[in-house]
């Protein structure tokens, strides 16, 4: 019996040894290598590949404020950095020194998957007679290509995919391989080739031959949509996404495709189609929760006013109460604020916007939208100080300064900075001038009333602080818990604590009326003994200290008036040109007109008021200022423009010709032929009224006038440029020169 067992073991040993050969095409050899490849090497490689995908899916953060990428992976110039893993758990049958070396090193999951695929090909490939006998090798090449794809080595990945397509044309995984090859070409910028191959697979083959499996169609149309997005063929991308979402085998990708489809419709303002796409996610039971909650928010964004908005608002408030939605509270509160703002419930909108900002987990991108919405609200309400603060917060929180929305907020913040400065100048100077215009008795009474109010506020603040010290810090904390129910002054420990805190904050005070005033402060004698009372009153409560700051000289008062008038004029221009707020602009300029402005400001004020009254269809006031300009300033350019308002001027010269003409005028200017420059420009300007070069011509003309005419004529020419083209570079330059000339 023992002899027979020995023979069996010897036979089994030789069978195993001979079956390891990859050169013999026998049943034993083939099955041995197939099983070893599938359940040892490839199994470990596929497990590593799955781990890599899990890491990507868990660490990738979608930016739901922009259109999501179809594939949740963004390749950068540097290779994707993934957590390293030990290879010890995937060593298979390897042992000895090599196994120890492998287990001691750490590589990324995709590197390990590639290593296992290469090992399967090198050790278990049975290429006999130019025909592969191991049916698992095509799987190894596919795994090799996919691992290289995620390692950002697209050309080697395509080589692996091409090998499968060329050598295994009838393999069950050939269609999946073609899709992966197309995705690799998309990453390399070969979208045209990718589209052709995918259409050949999805359209031609699916039509002429047996129908493709649903999972292949889903993956194929998703890849086709990627290619169309890269080529900006959004209509075809939507068609591909629609076809991809007919099946939902890959629940993560299917939900993503539906969400992107909704975003595309929303970007085209097709709100009904967008809502339908997002509702499909809500109806998709297996969709990941992050897509479901974001779909709710997107539905709210695309809802129209009316009963539907009321239902959406109720649903959002219900979501806010759900504890599971804490990570999304910033977006939920913000969207509630948007709906309330749309209903003109401004106070509720502001309340919800502030709640969105107070959420601890609020995302920086969401904060930029919330700050911007608050800034716009306060801006519309003419609360420019608050609006400026919120636009400043947008810039501080934003991480992408190149985004159009952020650049717009930056421009508003800069404009508001100038506006706030001039508003403050006008407010302060008005206050000073009004006090300076009072009699001495009125000034004294004014400041005495101010000091009385100030004292009451200080006393109230002092009492509040004392109450906090006595009943908040001591009685309200640990002492309260140990002496619950006892009156404060019966507790020696509390009383002692309160006394020390009082002396720390107020010093030694006499038991008398008005003890909080600084004049009652007792200062300890360093010699040790008596205390002396401070006799000097605080300047905070001294009327004389305020009266001393009032300007008395005529020169100082005139300077304040000029500064205020300049501020009013600048505010009028800012409201008109930058913020297009005509009522506020008219208000500032009309007030300036009543304050006897400088002579050089009168004509621009008249012209601006004429323009704005004409625009708001106030014919009576427009006619008044028109008459003023035509009678008092008949020889000016402003009068000429008003006299011929309906004259149709067309460009008789091309852009190139206009540029050439400007160069000729500039050369004449350099040659000091100033009168000729003015003459040439006056001839050409009426024929190029639609040209963007007109401000340059007018500024050059002003420079030429300044060279040979009086100073006043130069200033008037510059003022025309800054009034007509204030928002251009030339207008800003003219303004700077005028300011220098006025000094």
Q: What is the pLDDT of residue 601?
A: 86
Helix, strand or coil, per DSSP, at residue 743: coil
Query: Which helix (H) or strand (E) is 85 found in, with range?
Result: strand 85-86
Residue 361 sits at the vertex; the CA angle it makes with 358 and 366, to the nearest 5 degrees, is 75
Q: Evaluate whether residue 325 is within a structural domain.
A: no
- Residue 650 has what pLDDT? 44
Which residue carries 């287990």 as its tokens?
A: 103
Residue 485 has what pLDDT? 46
Structure confidence at residue 371 (pLDDT): 95
Same domain, 523 and 672: no
Q: Where a domain ends, among 171, 193, 228?
A: 171
Q: Is the pLDDT of residue 103 over 50?
A: no
Beta bridge partners of 127: 132
Q: Would you state the pLDDT for residue 592?
A: 94
Residue 717 placed within a domain: yes
Mean pLDDT score, 400-413: 84
Is the same domain home to 533 and 674? no
> Per the domain annotation, does 341 fall within a domain?
no
- For residue 94, pLDDT over 60 is answered with no
Which contacts qualify for 599-602: CB closer than 8 Å, 24 or more apart? 600/715, 600/716, 600/719, 600/742, 601/565, 601/569
Check pLDDT > 60 for residue 265: yes
Give yes or no for residue 9 having a pLDDT over 70: no
Strand, coil or helix: 224: helix
Q: Which of 65-69, 423-427, 655-659 has the lowest mean pLDDT?
A: 655-659
- Is 662 found in the same domain as 543? no
The answer to whether position 201 is within a domain reads: no
What values do phi and psi take at 532, rounded to 5?
-115, 150
Residues 2 and 143 in one domain: yes
pLDDT score recorded for residue 236:
94
In this structure, the answer to whether residues 533 and 678 fall within a common structural domain is no
Distance CA 315, CA 22 (A): 65
Domain for residue 277, yes or no?
A: no
pLDDT at 731 over 60: yes
- Per mean pLDDT, which range of 387-401, 419-433, 675-689 is the poorest? 675-689
Lowest mean pLDDT among 139-153, 214-228, 544-558, 634-648: 634-648
Boundaries of domain holding 708: 655-742
Mean pLDDT of the chain: 80
CB 89, CB 59: distance < 8 Å = no
Q: Around Cβ 254, how many Cβ atoms within 10 Å?
A: 23
Q: What is the pLDDT of residue 244?
A: 94
On the question of pLDDT at 578 being above 90, the answer is no
Question: Does any domain span residue 732?
Answer: yes
Query: Taking a C-beta distance cutoff of 8 angstroms, is the pair 164, 139 a contact?
Result: no
Cα–Cα distance between 31 and 134 in angstroms, integer?
8
Q: Examine the pLDDT at 687 and tell me if it is beyond 80.
A: no
Residue 525 above 70 pLDDT? Answer: no
CATH of the domain at 659: 1.25.40.10
Q: Which of 524, 547, 570 is the last residue of a domain?
A: 547
Reading the block at residue 208, the tokens are 């002429």
The mean pLDDT value for 99-124 works out to 73
670 within a domain of the structure (yes/no)? yes
CB atoms within 10 A of CB 324: 9
C-beta of residue 229 within 8 angstroms of C-beta of residue 266: no
Final residue before a domain boundary, out of 129, 147, 171: 171
Whether residue 32 is found in the same domain as residue 156: yes
Q: Name which of 130, 156, 131, 129 is nearest 141 in CA terms.
A: 156
Check pLDDT > 60 for residue 254. yes
DSSP string, 504-554: HHH-EE-SSTTTTSGGGEEEE-TTSS-EEE--SPPGGG-HHHHHTTS--SH
In a domain, residue 204? The reply is no
pLDDT(118) > 70:
yes
- Whether 533 and 522 have beta carbons less than 8 Å apart is answered as yes
Cβ atoms 543, 448 nearer than 8 A: yes
For 388-414, give the secondary structure using H, E and C: HHHHHHHHHHCCCCCCHHHHHHHHHHH
Report if pTM > 0.75.
no
Q: How many domains does the chain have?
A: 3
Q: What is the pLDDT of residues 315-346, one digit of tens each?
A: 999 999 999 999 999 999 999 999 999 888 99
Section 480-505 average pLDDT: 56
pLDDT at 410 over 60: yes
Which residue do the tokens 């002003």 mark?
702
């Amino acid at each position: 019996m023992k002899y027979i067992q020995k023979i069996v073991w010897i036979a089994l040993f030789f069978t195993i040894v001979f079956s390891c050969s990859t050169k013999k095409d026998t049943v034993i050899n083939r099955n041995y290598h197939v099983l070893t490849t599938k359940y040892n090497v490839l199994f470990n490689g596929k497990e590593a590949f799955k781990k890599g995908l899990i890491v990507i899916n868990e660490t990738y953060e979608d930016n739901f404020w922009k259109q999501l990428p179809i594939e949740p992976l963004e390749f950068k110039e540097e290779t994707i950095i993934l957590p390293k893993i030990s290879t010890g758990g995937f060593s298979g049958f390897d042992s000895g020194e090599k196994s120890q070396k492998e287990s001691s090193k750490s590589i990324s999951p995709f590197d390990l998957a590639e290593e296992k695929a290469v090992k399967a090909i090198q050790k278990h490939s049975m290429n006999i007679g130019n025909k592969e006998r191991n049916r698992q090798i095509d799987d190894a090449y596919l795994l090799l290509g996919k691992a290289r794809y995620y390692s950002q080595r697209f050309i080697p990945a395509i080589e692996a995919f091409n090998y499968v397509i060329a050598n295994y044309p009838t393999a069950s995984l050939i269609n999946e391989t073609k899709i992966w090859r197309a995705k690799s070409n998309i990453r390399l910028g070969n979208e045209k080739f990718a589209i052709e191959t995918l259409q050949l697979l999805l359209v031609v083959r699916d039509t002429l031959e047996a129908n493709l499996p649903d999972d292949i169609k889903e993956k194929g149309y998703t890849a086709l949509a990627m290619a169309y997005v890269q080529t900006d063929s959004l209509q075809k991308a939507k068609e591909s996404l629609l076809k991809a979402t007919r099946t939902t085998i890959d629940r993560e990708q299917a939900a993503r495709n539906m969400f992107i489809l909704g975003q595309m419709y929303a970007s085209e303002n097709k709100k009904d189609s967008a809502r339908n796409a997002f509702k499909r996610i809500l109806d998709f039971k297996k969709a990941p929760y992050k897509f479901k909650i974001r779909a709710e928010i997107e539905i709210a964004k695309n809802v129209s006013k009316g009963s539907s908005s009321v239902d959406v608002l109720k649903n959002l408030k219900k979501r806010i109460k759900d504890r599971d939605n804490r990570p999304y509270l910033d977006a939920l509160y913000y969207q509630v604020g948007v709906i309330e703002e749309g209903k003109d419930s401004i106070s509720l909108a502001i309340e919800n916007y502030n709640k969105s900002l107070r959420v601890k987990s609020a995302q920086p991108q969401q904060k930029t939208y919330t700050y911007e919405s608050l800034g716009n609200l306060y801006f519309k309400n003419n609360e420019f100080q608050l609006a400026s603060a919120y636009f400043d917060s947008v810039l501080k929180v934003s991480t992408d300064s190149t985004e159009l929305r952020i650049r717009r907020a930056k421009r508003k913040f800069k404009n508001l900075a100038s506006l706030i400065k001039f508003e403050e100048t006008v407010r302060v100077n008005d206050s000073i001038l009004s006090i300076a215009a009072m009699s001495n008795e009125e000034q004294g009474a004014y400041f005495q009333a101010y000091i009385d109010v100030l004292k009451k506020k200080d006393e109230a603040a002092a009492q509040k602080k004392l109450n906090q010290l006595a009943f908040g810090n001591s009685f309200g904390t640990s002492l309260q818990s140990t002496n619950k129910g006892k009156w404060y002054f019966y507790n020696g420990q509390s009383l002692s604590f309160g006394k020390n805190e009082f002396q720390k904050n107020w010093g030694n005070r006499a038991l008398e009326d008005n003890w909080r005033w600084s004049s009652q402060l007792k200062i300890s004698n360093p010699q040790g003994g008596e205390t002396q009372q401070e006799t000097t009153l605080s300047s905070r409560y001294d009327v004389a200290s305020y009266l001393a700051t009032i300007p008395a000289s005529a020169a100082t008062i005139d300077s304040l008036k000029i500064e205020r008038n300049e501020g009013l004029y600048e505010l009028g221009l800012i409201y008109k040109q930058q913020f297009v707020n005509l009522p506020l602009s008219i208000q500032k300029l009309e007030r300036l007109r009543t304050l006897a402005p400088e002579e050089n400001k009168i004509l621009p004020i008249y012209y601006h008021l004429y323009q704005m009254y004409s625009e708001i269809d106030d014919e009576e006031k427009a006619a008044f200022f028109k008459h003023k300009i035509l009678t008092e300033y008949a020889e000016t350019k402003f009068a000429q423009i008003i006299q011929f308002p309906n004259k149709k001027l067309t460009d008789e010269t091309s852009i190139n010709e206009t540029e050439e003409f400007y160069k000729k005028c500039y050369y004449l200017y350099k040659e000091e032929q100033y009168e000729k420059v003015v003459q040439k420009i006056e001839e050409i300007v009426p024929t190029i009224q639609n040209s963007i070069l007109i401000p340059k011509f007018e500024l050059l003309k002003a420079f030429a006038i300044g060279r040979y005419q009086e100073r006043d004529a130069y200033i008037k020419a510059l003022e025309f440029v800054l009034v007509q083209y204030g928002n251009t570079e030339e207008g800003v330059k003219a303004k700077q020169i005028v300011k220098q000339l006025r000094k």
